[in-house]
Amino acid sequence: MEDWRAKALESFPDLQDIVKEEQGGPIGLWIELFYKLTRAYDEQPSNDDLIRRIYDYADWCLNQPSTGDATTDPSSAAAVGLFESIPLNQNVSEDLHRWISVEQFEGFENLFRYLQSDEEYLRFTDKFMRKKKGLTS
């Protein structure tokens, strides 16, 4: 079994069917996980346990060595399947400050900019930094 799938099964015992059946590789799984992430914010209260596990799994993926193949690389999959999409969902983006550090945010600049104009990115960054300062001060 691939490492990314084994770690996903460990991280998401409640999503075993999705993880086991995913034929699209790690990017296919990240598409499913981003959908689950957005749905976690629709719950009242939001499903912080699932949200935390998704960000923890993303951190694990980002720290895996490159496979040299975009279709099997967990790091690339998390970057494209999660972080590029965060600015496109208001609920996810407005809560991002709780789940990543300023250093991580700055490291994801190219990913966050990919689907945004310069003006949108500046607004997104400003909101994140203001919320982060409010959280830590």
Per-residue confidence in pLDDT tens, the chain, 137 aa: 689 999 999 999 999 999 988 778 899 999 999 999 999 999 999 999 999 999 999 999 999 998 888 778 999 999 999 999 999 999 999 999 999 999 999 999 999 999 999 999 999 999 999 999 886 54
Judge if pTM exceeds 0.85.
Answer: yes
The region, left, alpha or beta by phi > 0 then psi within -120 to 50, assigned to residue 10 is: alpha
Query: How much of the chain is helix, strand and coil, in % rounded to 5?
Result: 75, 0, 25
